[in-house]
Amino acid sequence: MSAIPPMTLRPRRWPRIVAALLIFFGGMVCGAGLTVIVAVRNFHHTIHHPEEVPARLTRYLTRRLDLTSDQAEKVESLIARRQEDLQAIRREAQPRVAAELAALREEIGQVLTPDQREKWDDIFDEAIDRWMPPPPPPPSPLSPSTQPF
């Protein structure tokens, strides 16, 4: 009679594969979440500090387009001038936007109970402060950007 060799147990691979996939997908989720947080934070900073936009955009374009210092200077002044024009348009349109938002706030508030209305007002005010800061004031008549070259 011949002896049957003992069976060797092969280690199961699937638990390691599942663990590796969980770690991989967990890293993807964390990375995506962090990217969204950073992007939203940068967006809010840009909304609340429009005066920094020309310099930041010029730095970006200088890196991407390999601008010379003369080109970068001209590009920054062009961006600043157009940004002033855009801000003027925003100041003109702001009263209409504010009136529409006030109407929306009031119409939704009429549907709510007093407790809900109080919460709604807080939510609405927070959203307006966060996403729609008031436009910057118009440039003073003596600002360097309005003086002739």
Q: For residue 80, is pLDDT > 80?
A: yes
Instruction: State the pLDDT at residue 102.
Output: 94
Instruction: Please say whether the beta carbons of 87 and 50 come within 8 A.
Output: yes
Residue type, 17: I
pLDDT digits (tens, 9 = 90+) for 124-147: 999 998 888 877 777 676 655 544
Q: List, for residues 25-41, the tens digit of each pLDDT value.
A: 999 999 999 999 999 99
Does the pLDDT value for residue 149 go beyond 70? no
Mean pLDDT for the stretch of residues 5-32:
87
CA dist 6 and 47 (Å) reads 72
Residue 12: partners with Cβ closer than 8 Å, 6 or more residues away: none
Higher pLDDT, 48 or 32: 32
